[in-house]
Every structure is written in C-alpha cells, then in structure tokens.
Structure 1
Amino acid sequence: MPENTGLKFTMPAMRILENEHRYLSFLMEEWHALVLWFEHDQPVLEESRTQLHKLRKAILEFTGPLKKHTVKEETFFFPLLGSYIGFEQGPLVGIQEEHREIDGYIGHFLHYTEGNIDMLPLEDIRAAVKDTGEAFEVLTVHFVKEETVIYPMAEHQLSAKDKERLSQQLNTLIT
C-alpha cells in the first residue's frame, strides 16, 4: 500500500500529473504574491519596475515546467483519453482551449515585458501584470477541472494496458 502522499489518484499516470499540478501550484503561489502586490498596493514607478523584474523572472522559471507538463498531456494523455470519450465535444475540448488561453496570457505578459522594463510607464506595467493575474485564475480553475473531471474519467475509462503505457510515457521530469 502506498504511503499517504496527499494525492487523490491511484493510477500512476494520474498521480504523476496530479503531483506536477502540486509543483506548478507552488511556483504559481510565488509569482501570484507579486501580482497581488500590484493589485493591493499603490506602487510607485521605481518599486513597480523592481517588482516587475522579479515577476518576469518568476514567470520565466514557471513556463518551462508548465510547458513540459502541457506537452505531456497533449502528446500522450489527451489523445489516449480522447480515443475513449471522443474529441469533437466534451471536457477535452474545453481543457485544450484553456491550455491555449493560459499560453496566451503568459505569452502576452512576456512579450510586453521584453526589453528594457526600466522604460515602461506604470500604466503599461499594470496592464502587463494583469495578464499574469488572469493566467493564475485560469490555471487554478483548470487544475481543478482536470483533477475533478478529466483525471477521474481516465481512471475509470482506460484499460489496464493503456494505463500502464500512459504511466511509462508520463514518467518524465518537468523540471
């Protein structure tokens, strides 16, 4: 019997993805604290630029593991589950759209904070930071949807052979 790790799923592949969500959530909390600083404080320009440098660094450190996690889901997990439940409608369609939405928010932030941050006016800084706040919200709900709908569906639908194959495919690091 596996020790109590706080993970909900028994299927190794789903435990891998769930554990990755825990790590990604930890990283998100770090950069979300900076987003909240912008939302709740009345920052002055110089301090905002300093915080923006920190936020950009944290987002860049987050995007690598997020991308690896997303690629694993889209390359191995979603196609397999889709072969059982379909691709045209249903939860996989929405989940994949959220992947694009998250990528859009983060990409927009990174694009607008590229170059010399020390030249950005406060209004542009706040607008860019808003994208990371939106990304955080979508990611938070997205993880809940995957863990309450998609992952349980896989545990119940996939054959033993497919569960084993998926576990082998997903058993790679995202760091």
Structure 2
Amino acid sequence: MEALNVVLSSPLQQLKDEHVLLRKDMNLFYEITEEIEFESGPTVIQEFANLYEQISAFNVKLKAHSKKEDEGLFPMMARHLGENDKTIEVMEFEHEKAEKHLMDFLTEAEQAGPAIDEDDAQAITVYAVQAYATLIQHFAKEETVLFPLAEKILSIGEKEELERLFLE
C-alpha cells in the first residue's frame, strides 16, 4: 500500500500524532480491563475504580480530538467526496459508536457507585473493551485511508484553515 508513504501536512500529522497519545492511554486502560477480567475479589473493585478514573480522563481527550475531525476535517472532506461516498459517514458512525461505549461505561459505573460488586464491575468493563476495539480499528482506518486521502483531495487553503481551527 503506497498510502503509508504519504507525507502528511501539519494538521493531518497533528491528528495522527494525537492517535499515538490516545493509543497509549487506551493500552493502559485495556490492561486494566484484563486485570478486572482475570482477577477476583477486592482487586476487581480496586481496579474498576482505577479504570473509571482512566476512562474519565481519556474520554475528555478523545472528545477534544474527535471534535477536530467532526467539525473540521470531516465536513471539508465530505464536500470533496460527494454525497454517494460513504467514507465520512462510516467515520462519524465509528466516532458515535466509541463514544456510546464510553458513555455506557461511565453512566453504569456511576449508577453502580462505590458499593459495586465484582460481577457488575466485570459486566460494565465490557463497554471499555468494546470502546477499545472500536477505536483501535477506527484509528488504523483513519491513518491508512482517511488521512492520506485528505492529503490528496484537500487544497493548501483548506489545510491552512484546518490548522487554524486546531489552534482554537
């Protein structure tokens, strides 16, 4: 695939670099989900509290990243690709799916509260695993398909506009 050799302009490279940082956080929270899955007793509850903190912080970072794509990159690309192209629709759907998994995790964890039991903690953790799986695939798709495509179809002016948007 020649897409891997594409040199990205500054705003697209910024999005890709943010993926690296987000992936680091995701790998950390994924390790915690594995602990929860394979441990038992008080360890599960402790790890679940830890996971809740991690996901809460991660969710804020992910929202800031997604906003750049949802409000900047995606609409710009959609104008070029035309209404029959489903690329952006798929990307937006994946954003919504990941956000829903994260919100389900946070909401159910909050509803369960500090008195959560081991079974509930393990059940709720599944949402974090689903968010992880969705985002790993989604980031890969953006990096191999979407960003190189954006590099090709967006004008220099549009890339400069993106860069300005990302500074806000």
Q: TM-score, normalised by structure 2?
A: 0.91
Q: Which residues in structure 2 correspond to 1:14-163 (within 5 Å)?
A: 14-39=12-37, 41-44=38-41, 46-115=42-111, 117-163=113-159
For residues 26 and 60 of structure 2, the distance between their equivalents in structure 1, rounded to whole angstroms, comes to 13
Question: Tell me, which stretches of 5 or more residues in structure 1 are unaligned?
Answer: 1-6
- SS of 1:119's equivalent in the other structure is coil
More helix by share: 2
For residues 33 and 83 of structure 2, the distance between their equivalents in structure 1, rounded to whole angstroms, comes to 35
Contact kept in structure 2, 1:113 and 1:128, CA below 8 Å: yes
For residues 130 and 24 of structure 2, the distance between their equivalents in structure 1, rounded to whole angstroms, comes to 17
Contact kept in structure 2, 1:87 and 1:93, CA below 8 Å: no
The one of 9, 12, 29 aligned to 2:10? 12
Offset, 1:121: 2.3
- SS of 1:140's equivalent in the other structure is helix
Contact kept in structure 1, 2:35 and 2:44, CA below 8 Å: no
Contact kept in structure 2, 1:8 and 1:15, CA below 8 Å: no
- AA aligned to 2:115 is M
For residues 64 and 30 of structure 1, the distance between their equivalents in structure 2, rounded to whole angstroms, comes to 16
Q: How large is the Cα RMSD of the aligned pairs?
A: 1.7
For residues 72 and 166 of structure 1, the distance between their equivalents in structure 2, rounded to whole angstroms, comes to 8
Question: Tell me, which stretches of 5 or more residues in structure 2 are unaligned?
Answer: none
Going from structure 1 to structure 2, the CA distance change for 1:20 and 1:9 (only over 3 Å counts) comes to farther
For residues 6 and 139 of structure 2, the distance between their equivalents in structure 1, rounded to whole angstroms, comes to 13
Going from structure 1 to structure 2, the CA distance change for 1:108 and 1:116 (only over 3 Å counts) comes to closer
Offset, 1:49: 1.0
For residues 113 and 31 of structure 1, the distance between their equivalents in structure 2, rounded to whole angstroms, comes to 15
Going from structure 1 to structure 2, the CA distance change for 1:69 and 1:87 (only over 3 Å counts) comes to farther
Aligned length: 164
- SS of 2:114's equivalent in the other structure is helix
Deviations 1:131-156 (A, max 9, x none): 00010000000000011111111100
Deviations 1:42-68 (A, max 9, x none): 412x22111110000000110111001
Offset, 1:117: 3.4
